[in-house]
């Protein structure tokens, strides 16, 4: 009996002890459903002493891979900020959601807050909500569906809602009075901080990291909401004059700077002359475009000043940004429909970029790399890789999706065009470099460089988007056979990762000063350009220190460290290239040419001429096939749009046609349908005239299949709404 009583007592004490050491925190999290509506879910986090095990319970829902990674990142960030060893606790994360599958990274920030609260025996207040992806270092990254999630938070009485910094201006579907007494549902960009306060009485706080979020949630800090009348724009350093430098290895880059500044000045002048007459139905977007003009003008002035002081790469960078901003305004003044990625104007511009990229890629492949041209040819290929990557990503986003109007997509497309233009200019400079020996044997160097950066990436917590992007570019270049570019991009990624590592070890300003004091001697153009670029950021850091802005100074120094070690890594690559094996052709003069040699030369000439004619014929056939493909692709785009419009019209016609709103929507759809059919007829007329000259096999096969579809009688093809994740 006594033994039994003792066992019961021990068990009771164990239960009490477990409860004493089990910490729990709860809060709302939010997702976006397949229908585009915000959906609340409940998050429960338990932390108990243990060995670092993680358990995720989603009830009847399936857990996605990104959610698993998000939980791990959140625990890393919370334990690091709390100053505890994550391996001394076990973590139980439960999400109660009506969804069949829970996936996506946007629950990262709320999970980190709940873990932090549980570690400090504090529950998250029930009036707090949050959304945002989180990295292991606590950085909060952007996510989608901000407006929809904020609206869902308001509906469950959340009073404070945290979002990622930089996502203040977001797309939204709202009801507003478009005319006296007429309220319509419109798509527009809204300032979520301002909108939530005015319409819901909810405070929305953008946060850049977990530390800022913890200060708001657990320490009661309430930063000023800062409801702006204008959207944020890029800022440049004011009254800042870095000490001049004298370029030696990179003197020729002066040509690139001059051209880029001239183009930017022309576009700024064009934007200034047209922005006053621009009229848009979305005043928020109009204000964004108006703000871009003074920003671009400031960037051009900064570029001209830095150009004069010898900071060629920095000057070109500012001019490049100014060109993109001003060009965006200028083109939208000419064609406001470019704000819509599914517009004909935008699609034509996208198709033109794809065609230009294809032709430029062939030209870049055709030129052999030599000891005289490798830096310019490498620069041209590197710019092409960047344009190619952005073009692929932009195409994936805009094709098959109905996106709200925004200048962002056009800015990205203009960036692609600007990079392609820079690549062409550098290619021309590479062609002007005559002589030199062909460079071979870089495949091994490129592979070693990629392995090196992957090793560094595996050893550190670096989750930099810039590092990941450059690793991706390096692998793309390697697969294309552009081994010098692959080696440079991989070395650049490694340098950026090392710069981040050194910046995190101590005072970034002092670290950068020590690095520059023992700087390397430039071996070529690119390492010198980046070295001076790093010196510019060091001067900027000192400038901010003088202004008493320590955080800004550290940010500048951190960027400077990344650029310095990137330049150092490129310096090592250029030294390796200089020692790479070269193919030398030895010409042995002949004092006598025999009759057989003459016949051999004649035969060789005939063979070369025949090959040249064959290549021209094949190129012509290839060009024709490509044009056919582009026409068919555009034709199918029109057909899909026609089918979708006809489907929407049929649905509306089933409703009450006497309803003014239905009439208005029908009229609008019929106008769009008429434009689409007219565009299709023009394309078919053009195709017909071309087919009379040289009909393609693809068009013959497709005639029967697409001709019937153009009537729209049985069209069921339409754009599907892209599935948004939590």
Could you tell me which of 573, 541, 580 has the C-alpha nearest to residue 557? 541
Predicted local confidence at residue 530, as pLDDT: 92
CA–CA separation, 500 vs 464, rounded Å? 9
Could you tell me which of 153, 44, 34, 163 has the C-alpha nearest to residue 93? 44
CA–CA separation, 211 vs 112, rounded Å? 10
Which band of pLDDT confidence, cut at 50, 70 and 90, is reported for residue 675? confident
Query: Which range scores top for mean pLDDT: 188-197, 244-253, 550-559, 603-612?
Result: 244-253
Return the CA Rg of the chain.
Answer: 31
More confident site: 693 or 665:
665
CA–CA separation, 692 vs 720, rounded Å? 36
Residue 74 has pLDDT above 60, yes or no: yes
- 141-154 pLDDT, tens digit per residue, is 888 889 999 999 99
- Cα 72 to Cα 136, 508, 513: the distances in Å are 8, 28, 36
CATH of domain 22-217: 3.30.230.10
CA–CA separation, 661 vs 604, rounded Å? 77
pTM over 0.95: no
Q: Where are the domains of the chain?
A: 22-217, 449-580, 632-719
User: What's the mean pLDDT when you consider all of the chain?
Assistant: 78
Predicted local confidence at residue 230, as pLDDT: 39
Backbone angles phi, psi at 228, to 5 degrees: -85, 155
Residue 193 has pLDDT above 70, yes or no: yes
Predicted local confidence at residue 709, as pLDDT: 38
Predicted local confidence at residue 179, as pLDDT: 43
Contact 556, 541 (CB under 8 A): yes
Predicted local confidence at residue 238, as pLDDT: 47
More confident site: 558 or 364:
364
Is 474 strand, coil or helix? helix
More confident site: 681 or 280:
280
Predicted local confidence at residue 426, as pLDDT: 95
Supply 561's token pair: 């460290």
């Amino acid at each position: 009996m006594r033994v039994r009583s003792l066992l019961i007592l021990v068990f009771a004490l164990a239960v009490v002890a477990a409860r004493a050491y089990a910490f729990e925190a709860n809060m709302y999290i939010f997702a976006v459903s397949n229908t585009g509506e915000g959906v609340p879910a409940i998050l429960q986090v338990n932390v108990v002493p243990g060995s670092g095990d993680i358990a995720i319970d989603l009830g009847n829902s399936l857990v996605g891979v990104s959610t698993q990674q998000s939980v791990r990142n959140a625990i890393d960030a919370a334990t690091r900020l709390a100053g505890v060893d994550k391996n001394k606790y076990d973590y139980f994360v439960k999400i109660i959601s009506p969804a069949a599958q829970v996936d996506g990274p946007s629950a990262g920030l709320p999970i980190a807050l709940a873990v932090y609260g549980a570690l400090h025996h504090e529950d998250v207040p029930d009036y707090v909500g949050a959304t945002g992806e989180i990295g292991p270092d606590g950085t909060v990254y952007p996510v989608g569906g901000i407006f929809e999630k904020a609206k869902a938070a308001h509906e469950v009485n959340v009073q404070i809602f945290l979002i990622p910094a930089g996502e203040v201006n977001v797309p939204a579907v709202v009801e507003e009075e478009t005319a006296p007494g007429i309220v319509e549902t419109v798509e527009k960009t809204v300032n979520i901080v301002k909108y939530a306060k005015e319409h819901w009485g909810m405070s929305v706080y953008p946060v850049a990291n977990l530390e800022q979020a913890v200060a708001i949630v657990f320490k009661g800090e309430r930063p000023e909401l800062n409801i702006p009348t204008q959207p944020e724009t890029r800022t440049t350093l004011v009254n800042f004059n870095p000490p001049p430098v004298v370029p030696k290895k990179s003197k020729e880059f002066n040509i690139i700077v001059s051209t880029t500044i001239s183009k930017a000045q022309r576009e700024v002048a064009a934007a200034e002359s047209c922005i006053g007459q621009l009229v848009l139905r979305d005043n928020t977007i109009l204000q964004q475009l108006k703000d871009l003009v003074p920003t671009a003008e400031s960037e051009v002035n900064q570029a001209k000043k830095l150009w004069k002081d010898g900071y060629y790469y920095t000057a070109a960078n500012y001019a490049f940004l100014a060109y993109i901003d001003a060009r965006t305004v200028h083109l939208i003044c000419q064609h406001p429909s470019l704000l819509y990625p599914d517009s004909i104007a935008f699609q034509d511009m996208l198709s033109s970029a794809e065609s230009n990229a294809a032709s430029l890629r062939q030209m870049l492949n055709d030129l052999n790399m030599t000891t005289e041209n490798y830096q310019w040819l490498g620069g041209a290929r590197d710019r092409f890789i960047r344009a190619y990557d952005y073009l692929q990503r932009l195409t994936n986003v805009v094709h098959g999706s109905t996106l709200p109007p925004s200048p962002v997509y056009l800015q990205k497309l203009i960036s692609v065009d600007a990079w392609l233009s820079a690549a062409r200019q550098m290619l021309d400079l590479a062609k002007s470099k005559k002589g030199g020996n062909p460079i071979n044997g870089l495949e091994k160097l490129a592979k070693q460089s990629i392995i090196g950066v992957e090793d560094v990436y595996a050893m550190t917590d670096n989750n930099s988007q810039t590092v990941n992007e450059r690793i991706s570019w390096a692998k793309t270049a390697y697969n294309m056979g552009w081994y010098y570019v692959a080696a440079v991009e991989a070395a650049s990624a490694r340098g950026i990762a090392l710069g981040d590592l050194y910046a995190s070890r101590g005072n970034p300003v002092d670290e950068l000063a020590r690095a520059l004091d023992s700087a390397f001697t430039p071996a070529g153009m690119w390492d010198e350009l980046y070295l001076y670029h790093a010196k510019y950021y060091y001067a900027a850091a000192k400038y901010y220190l003088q202004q008493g802005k320590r955080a800004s100074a550290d940010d500048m120094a951190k960027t400077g460290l990344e650029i310095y070690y990137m330049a150092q890594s490129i310096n090592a690559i250029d030294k390796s290239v200089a020692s790479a094996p070269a193919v030398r052709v030895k010409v042995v003069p002949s004092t006598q040419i025999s009759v057989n040699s003459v016949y051999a030369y004649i035969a060789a000439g005939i063979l070369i001429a025949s090959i040249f004619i064959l290549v021209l014929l094949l190129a012509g056939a290839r060009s024709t096939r490509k044009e056919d493909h582009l026409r068919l692709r555009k034709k199918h785009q029109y057909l899909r749009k026609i089918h979708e419009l006809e489907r929407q019209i049929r649905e509306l016609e089933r409703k009450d046609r006497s309803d003014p709103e239905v009439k208005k929507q029908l009229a609008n759809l019929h106008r769009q349908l008429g434009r689409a059919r007219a565009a299709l007829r023009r394309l078919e007329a053009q195709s017909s005239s071309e087919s009379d000259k040289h009909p393609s096999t693809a068009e013959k096969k497709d005639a029967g299949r697409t001709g019937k579809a153009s009537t729209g009688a049985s069209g069921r093809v339409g754009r599907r709404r892209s599935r948004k994740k939590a």
